[in-house]
Structure 1
Amino acid sequence: MDFSGKDKAAYVQETFNTIAGHYDLMNSLMSLGMDKRWRRIAVQRVGARRGMNILDVCCGTGQLSQELGKAVGNEGSVTGLDFSRKMLDVARHTLEQSSEKKQIQFIQGNAMELPFPDHSFDGVTVGWGLRNLPDLRRGIQEMTRVVKPGGKVVSLDMAKPSLPVFKQVYWLYFEKLVPLMGQIWAKKASAYQYLHDSAVEFPSQQELARIFSECGLLETKFLNLAGGVVAVVSGTKPGHS
């Protein structure tokens, strides 16, 4: 990937600040409206339920945080963390119209150095965020550090489909049409070219599950969605909650 002379962290921050206002629309368009269902599955996989305290890393515009908020209810809490100020501005604006606003808070922070003590959360999620991190393993280790023993770390992200023909059609769509859609609706083709390039370089769902294990998580597994275009990868921190 060409970061135009910037390091990855600076490039990603600038890119997502630029497309923040169109991000949710583009997600719906690119996923053909399936992204909401995918987020609900991630919420189920992390085991979110009433009264829990969940961290949503790289929360962006807060869509996954809001799904988590529904699951934990008024007795629980959700902390959404992102380092893009403009994405968080959109998240907070959307939250104002939500019935979950009492149990959700958004903070600006760095996924490489999570500003929380060890064993702080009942579960940790990250949606379409791991591939944007400058150090994938360090990010997973930080999420593992802050989750309580027995809690789950769950990633929802692009994956690598394996079905013949389907996978060729998918990558052609992603390489050619997605940047064009980005230019039309978000006036930023380069940002959506980055989404393609980062998805190409991101580990497969099988490999990511193995990396979860290397970072100290147990019972690592993945669930393919939409024919393997997207996958939910999860692992459990050793010990008892």
Structure 2
Amino acid sequence: MTDQKDSQDQTHFGFEQVKVDEKQDKVADVFHSVASKYDVMNDLMSGGVHRIWKRITIEQSGVRRGHKVLDIAGGTGDLTMRFSRLVGSEGKVVLADINDSMLNVGRDRLMDKGITGNVEFVQANAEALPFPDNTFDCITIAFGLRNVTHKDNALASMARVLKPGGKVMVLEFSKTENPLLTKAYDIYSFSLLPKIGKLIAGDEESYRYLAESIRMHPDQETLKGMMEDAGLVQCKFQNMTGGIVALHTGIKP
């Protein structure tokens, strides 16, 4: 599965077809709505397992003292917080998010924990990252790529600002491997998740979109090919929790 379009000026917003220039605003509205409850909902939606997925991402990043890291769609700062400790005072972590509501929640959260000295907050579109070529040792995007209108542009932009030898890491919901798990996951995603969203965040529609956006995201092999097309090498993926989530990695030659 690739980015599905009926025509050059149409793209998908969940299962709905919308004009390309409308998707970004629609996605923004979703995250403005869910920002304040985002962490609570992550724990509820995944049963806390998202913390394990993120920990594995950190462990496989190879990030060490003095590195420069870009955390795209960094939201409330889960990965940024951990990277900040790894890079130390000699390093730097940029938490980037296109949505100012999410960025503000992340900034407040990290400041409350005293994490400010080596962290920078930047409102940025993943498709046109505002950084010089060859800037970062590692770039992560966790549960954000599926919301990007032109994923190929975003991957190319990441490759451009990555240093040679640096690593791009895409942690994202993906395609399950077992038919029974897929059926159970569908029931959860389309029946229970919107109701949880309504109960906890007061927003059923946004969580229905989030469930639909997962189904519209490219499968593991397709995303691997897109990373290769962006100029990355040694691209591979690791399925977690039966393929509910996959961690894709690629290196800049």
* TM-score calculated relative to the size of structure 1: 0.95
**Partner residue in 2 for 1:139:** 154
1:22 CA drift (Å): 0.4
Q: Secondary structure at the match of 1:15?
A: helix
Q: Which moved more, 1:218-227 or 1:100-109?
A: 100-109
Alpha-carbon contact 1:222-1:231 (below 8 Å) kept:
yes
1:81 CA drift (Å): 0.7
Alpha-carbon contact 1:3-1:11 (below 8 Å) kept:
no
Q: Secondary structure at the match of 2:248?
A: strand
Structure 2 distance, partners of 1:219, 1:87, is 32
2:218 aligned with 1:231: no
Structure 1 distance, partners of 2:189, 2:72, is 25
Structure 2 distance, partners of 1:75, 1:151, is 18
**Partner residue in 2 for 1:57:** 72
2:16 aligned with 1:2: yes
Structure 1 distance, partners of 2:119, 2:113, is 10
Q: Secondary structure at the match of 1:61?
A: coil
1:75 CA drift (Å): 2.1
- Structure 1 regions of 5+ residues with no counterpart? none
2:208 aligned with 1:193: yes
Structure 2 distance, partners of 1:188, 1:25, is 14
Structure 2 distance, partners of 1:101, 1:63, is 14
Q: Cα RMSD over matched residues?
A: 1.4
Structure 2 distance, partners of 1:111, 1:84, is 11
1:83 CA drift (Å): 1.4
2:62 aligned with 1:47: yes
Q: Secondary structure at the match of 2:69?
A: strand
Alpha-carbon contact 1:45-1:154 (below 8 Å) kept:
no
Alpha-carbon contact 1:62-1:91 (below 8 Å) kept:
yes
1:45 CA drift (Å): 2.6
Structure 1 distance, partners of 2:85, 2:247, is 19
Cα 1:138–1:78 shift into 2, 3 Å: same
Alpha-carbon contact 1:112-1:138 (below 8 Å) kept:
yes
Structure 2 distance, partners of 1:2, 1:211, is 23
Corresponding residue to 1:184 among 183, 199, 203: 199
**Any residues of structure 2 matched to 1:157-236 within 5 Å, and which?**
157-236=172-251
1:74 CA drift (Å): 2.3
Q: Secondary structure at the match of 1:165?
A: helix
Q: Alpha-carbon deviations, 1:191-215, whole Å to 9, x = none? A: 1111111100001122211111111
Corresponding residue to 2:33 among 18, 39, 59: 18
Q: Secondary structure at the match of 2:179?
A: coil
* TM-score calculated relative to the size of structure 2: 0.90
Q: Alpha-carbon deviations, 1:87-113, whole Å to 9, x = none? A: 111101101122432111211111111
**Partner residue in 2 for 1:83:** 98
- Structure 2 regions of 5+ residues with no counterpart? 1-14
Structure 1 distance, partners of 2:18, 2:207, is 15
Structure 2 distance, partners of 1:35, 1:101, is 24
Q: Secondary structure at the match of 1:137?
A: helix
Structure 2 distance, partners of 1:70, 1:223, is 25
Q: Secondary structure at the match of 1:22?
A: helix
**Any residues of structure 2 matched to 1:81-120 within 5 Å, and which?**
81-120=96-135
Q: Alpha-carbon deviations, 1:53-77, whole Å to 9, x = none? A: 0001111111121122122122211
Count of matched residue pairs: 238
